[in-house]
Amino acid sequence: MKLDTIAVHAGDRKRLGDYVPVTTPVYGAAAYTYERIEDLDRVFVGEVRGQGYLRYGNPTTEALEELLSALEGGDLALATASGMAALHLAIQACLTDRRPSIVSAKLLFGQTITMLNTVFEPARVAVRYVDACDTAAMEAAIAEEKPACVLVETVSNPLLEVPAIDRIADAAHRHGAYLIVDSTFTPPVMFRPLAHGADFVTHSTTKYLAGHGDVLGGALITRSEFAAVLEMLSRSIGPAFGPFEAYLAMRGIKTLPLRFERQCANACRVAAALSAHPRVAKVHFPGLAEHPNHENAVRLFDQGMFGAMVSFEVRDAARDGIFRFVDGLKLVVRSLSLGDVHSLICYPAMSTHRAMAPKQRQRLGITDNLVRLSVGIEDAEDIVDDLVQALDK
């Protein structure tokens, strides 16, 4: 089946006695009982399929996991309470029986960098940061460190760089490392990292997958060989995804192909309009021919999609000027999130990368005049008009 069809049908219509619900219902029970304790024992140890306790599984969550695995082309998926929880589990799974070392892209979501620096490094895990778009530098670092895992984003947050995922995967595997890819900015209708060599794919389901700003969740998709270690870690750490949230995420995914196609098309039009505006100093968008990683984006991404994120620098603006511009927007919503049906804008220096020292942000290219725009499904001209009127004030 094509991805558009999988998004609508996968995971649904499990038989419940003599009837089949059209969509997966919300199973709110925290625990389940059986007529005989022997049956519960067999479920608990995995001899037979069944439900025992919410932290170990839930019918609604498992339906979502089936859907996510089918979309990403994985053997199994694990729904988690947040995208950060999914990423933590993936890293921990890689470190279980390998050298405590990570080679990471130096440009990542700010909280991911904080996790590496404040959770893993104090636990004596060495972390080496490298420019992920410098493939030769990544290959050299991997060869030298021989890490447990390599961590990258498909499209970096917030500068929207696009590393050569397939080539990094080859380098990682040559030296016995696993590749973890945070694909939050590139849902599977645009890019499927497992097909390009990744070992683990993570998402914040809060973003494009659920898509309506009403779910906090994450997902990890991988191969069956990691099933045992992930079961152990998830049961021990307990990042369980609630059944109601799983229901909302699954409902959102049904329209993902339609939403995201519109968002990508809108982003192309917005990026072009911003590039022509005199108050915009620079636009970061992989769909622009002048983007330094445009060739990677064309080669890797599906159906001519370049994502629905557009970052740009307002000419000669400092923090107060950015605040005036953002406050002048009437349609675009001020928010810390992304991927919703409505357009959202954030200021990385005060939000996603606030924890970084200003000099570190500057070295990474996250300037004080940079804003990050998540393009929604509104009429593209309305989005452009709102941005232009705020820039012109």
Give the residue among 288, 253, 252, 262 at the shortest CA–CA distance from 383. 262
What backbone torsions phi and psi does residue 60 show, to the nearest 5 degrees? -70, -45
Same domain, residue pair 240 and 100: yes
pLDDT score at 10:
92
Which pair of structure tokens corresponds to residue 21? 């619900």
Same domain, residue pair 262 and 248: no
Same domain, residue pair 16 and 143: yes
Strand order in the sheet with 149-153: 76-80, 218-222, 200-204, 178-182, 149-153, 101-105, 126-130
Same domain, residue pair 200 and 309: no
Between 189-198, 235-244, 275-284, the lowest mean confidence (pLDDT) is in: 235-244
Q: State which of 232, 253, 274 marks the end of a domain.
A: 253
- pLDDT single digits (tens) 151-209: 999 999 999 999 999 999 999 999 999 999 999 999 999 999 999 999 999 999 999 99
DSSP 119: I
Same domain, residue pair 207 and 237: yes
| 17 band by pLDDT with thresholds 50, 70 and 90 | confident
Q: What is the pTM of this model?
A: 0.95
Same domain, residue pair 18 and 146: yes
Q: CATH number, domain at 316?
A: 3.90.1150.10
CA distance linking residue 159 with residue 255, whole number of Å: 27
Q: Which amino acid, 254?
A: K
Residue 357 has pLDDT above 80, yes or no: no
- pLDDT single digits (tens) 294-335: 999 999 998 789 999 999 999 999 999 999 999 999 999 999
Burial code (b: 16+ CB inside 10 Å, e: under 16) for 127-140 equals: bebbbbbebeebbe
Looking at per-residue pLDDT, the higher value among 162 and 356 belongs to: 162
Give the residue among 237, 278, 221, 264 at the shortest CA–CA distance from 67. 221
Same domain, residue pair 208 and 122: yes
Same domain, residue pair 241 and 272: no
Q: State which of 236, 253, 270 marks the end of a domain.
A: 253
pLDDT score at 55:
87
pLDDT score at 47:
82
**CB within 8 A of 222, min separation 6: which ones?**
74, 75, 76, 77, 90, 93, 194, 199, 200, 201, 230
| Average pLDDT value for residue range 35-63 | 86
| 67 band by pLDDT with thresholds 50, 70 and 90 | very high
Q: CATH number, domain at 90?
A: 3.40.640.10
Residue 352 has pLDDT above 80, yes or no: no
CA distance linking residue 298 with residue 287, whole number of Å: 8
Q: State which of 200, 220, 253 marks the end of a domain.
A: 253
Percent of the chain with pLDDT over 70: 100
| 43 band by pLDDT with thresholds 50, 70 and 90 | confident
Count up the domains in the chain and report the number.
Answer: 2
What backbone torsions phi and psi does residue 174 show, to the nearest 5 degrees? -60, -25
CA distance linking residue 391 with residue 117, whole number of Å: 37
pLDDT score at 57:
87
| 20 band by pLDDT with thresholds 50, 70 and 90 | confident
Same domain, residue pair 238 and 385: no
| 53 band by pLDDT with thresholds 50, 70 and 90 | confident
| 350 band by pLDDT with thresholds 50, 70 and 90 | confident
CA distance linking residue 293 with residue 108, whole number of Å: 16
Q: Collapsing DSSP states into helix, strand and coil, what is residue 72?
A: helix
CA distance linking residue 370 with residue 357, whole number of Å: 16
pLDDT, averaged across the chain:
94
Same domain, residue pair 247 and 138: yes
Same domain, residue pair 21 and 150: yes
CA distance linking residue 290 with residue 164, whole number of Å: 17
Query: What's the domain range around 269?
Result: 256-391
Same domain, residue pair 190 and 245: yes
